Structures are given as structure tokens and as C-alpha cells.
Amino acid sequence: MKNIVVGIDFSQNSENALRHAVAIGLRSNAKIHIVWVKTPTAATKLDVEDEDEMMKKAHVKLDEFVAHARMEAPKNEIQGVILEGKAYLKLTQYAANIPDALLVVGSHGASGFEEMFIGSNTMKVVGLTKVPVLIIGSHVKANRDLTKILTPIDMSFETLQKMKMATECARYFSAKVHILGLCEPGSAEVKHAINVQVNHAKNICDAAAVRCAASTIDIHGNTPDAVVEWAKNEDVNLIVVMREEEDDISAFWLGSHTRQMMNLAPMPLMVIPNVNHSSVDI
């Protein structure tokens, strides 16, 4: 990981997202890009009356965020960036145009990025990104190091793609990866296939010299509920999942497991785009 892009709106939650970004940057020595987007409603969100006053206030606040990050990570390269347009679109485009990037966003903005986190626009951020995105809920505390990383494993071919980022994060924090196979109760064929996938995931961890533990559970109800409950019981610090793809952008993620995970998880959630799936441009 060479670059960490964190979207901010100057709210308390975006400060929390920035602290998570800095924590990862400290261990990965990545460059941190602190990005604010000037949207059509930005003046109202910043409680100012004209554009000149808005930009002056935005620059001051952005400089404060950058200075704070530099105090916490004095050896990292850190820069503030101001873009203009649709927040979700500009942020994802920016992250896509720099190498080896991680995108970090808070899930409940209160000002400049608020429109990015209402209804279907939340899905656009995750749905459009071409890089891994770390979603930080307003309730997630930033003072916990990553010690346990959960990677749910299913029957899909792309499920193992998440292991690269999971093991990379594990190396930075000397964390342990918990591989959780998701089985259908009573299906011997599915259980065998899941065990094969789990063994592949363990081999990836071994090759990366990362500690891991593996187990399987039978899913009797809703999969996201079961995964989040397991994560809470095991005091997991991070869940890494694959993005579910939809061909119809108008139905992007509605009712999907990924959206449910975003709503349910009380810990950071990292969503990995499928490299074999072409992204949708809006």
C-alpha cells in the first residue's frame, strides 16, 4: 500500500476516519491524501453565505486536518486536496488515479460529504471504487490496533481475492487472520467445497508469513447477521469482504449482503472490488 486517500467533511466522524487512515499510514509508510470536495451545497454545509468565504473556511479547516495528521505521523508524506463536483465521484476517481491505493471514508458525514452517505449514494462510493475501501462507522473507535482480521469465505471464485489485502493489513499490525468458511447446513458437497477454499486461504496466509486460524459455520439464517455475530463474539477488529457486483446500476446493492454488512458491522469494514469485474461509470 503506497497511498491512503481519506475523504473528509470536517465532521467528527471524518476526523475518526482520518485517525484510522493515519494509524494504517504509520505502519505502511504510505502517503496520506486528505480530500475535501467542493459540492454545490458546500457553502450551506459550512454555514457560510458566499463562495469566497466558503473556500477560505475550507482551506483553514483542511490545513487543520493536515497539521493534526502530521503531528501523529511526522514521517509520512501528507497532503490536503480540494476537488470540485460530485463528492462520491471525485473521490473514487482520485483514488483510482494513484498507484496501490486504499480509500477510507466515514459512513455518516454531517456536512460537505453528507450527500455521499444518504441512501443509494452510500452505495455509489463503494460500488464505483476501483480500489479497496475502508468504511468507518461513526460508532467505531480509532484507538484500537488491528489484532484480529476476519475474512468470510464462500463458494465464489473471487472470494480469495480479499486475502491479499487481509494479509497485507495483518503484516502491518502483526495481526491474526481469522478465516471463516460459510457453509449450508446439511450439504456435504458445499462443505467440501468450502473446506477447499478455506485451505487455499490458509495457504495464502502461510505464504505471506501471517498467523491465521480457520473455522467453518453453518448458516441457518441471514449470512451477514451470522458473520457479524461471529465477529462480535470473537472481538474482531476488521472484516474484509468482496464487493458484490450488480449489472443494473439502478439496483446497485439494494438488499445485498454487502449493504447489510455496512449497516450491521460495529467494527471497520473493508470492501474489495472484484478485479475480474468491469466497473460501472456514471
Residue 141 pLDDT: 67
Residue 253 pLDDT: 39
pLDDT tens-place string over residues 94-125: 999 999 999 998 876 444 444 444 344 556 78
Alpha carbon 10 to its chain's center: 19
Alpha carbon 99 to its chain's center: 17
Taking the whole predicted model, whether its pTM rises above 0.85 is answered as yes
DSSP symbols for the chain: --EEEEE--SSHHHHHHHHHHHHHHHHHT-EEEEEEEE-TTHHHHTT-SSHHHHHHHHHHHHHHHHHHHHHH-TTS-EEEEEEES-HHHHHHHHHHTSSSEEEEEESS--STTGGGGSTHHHHHHHHH-SS-EEEE-TT--SS----EEEEEE-SSGGGGGHHHHHHHHHHHHT-EEEEEEEE-TT-HHHHHHHHHHHHHHHHHHHHTT--EEEEEEE--S-HHHHHHHHHHHTT-SEEEEEPPP-S-GGGTTTT-HHHHHHHH-SS-EEEE--TTSPPPP-
Angstrom distance (rounded) from CA 276 to CA 130: 11
- The predicted model gives 252-280 an average pLDDT of 72
Angstrom distance (rounded) from CA 253 to CA 125: 11
List of residues 6+ apart from 69 with CB closer than 8 A? 18, 21, 22, 32, 34, 76, 78
pLDDT tens-place string over residues 134-190: 998 766 766 567 899 999 999 888 999 999 999 999 999 999 999 999 998 878 898
Sketch out the chain's domains with CATH numbers.
3-136 (3.40.50.620), 148-254 (3.40.50.620)
Among 36, 43, 20, 44, which residue's Cα sits nearest to residue 90? 36
Total Cβ atoms within 10 A of residue 168:
16
- The predicted model gives 36-43 an average pLDDT of 77
Maximum CA pair distance of the chain? 66
Share of the chain above pLDDT 70, in %: 83
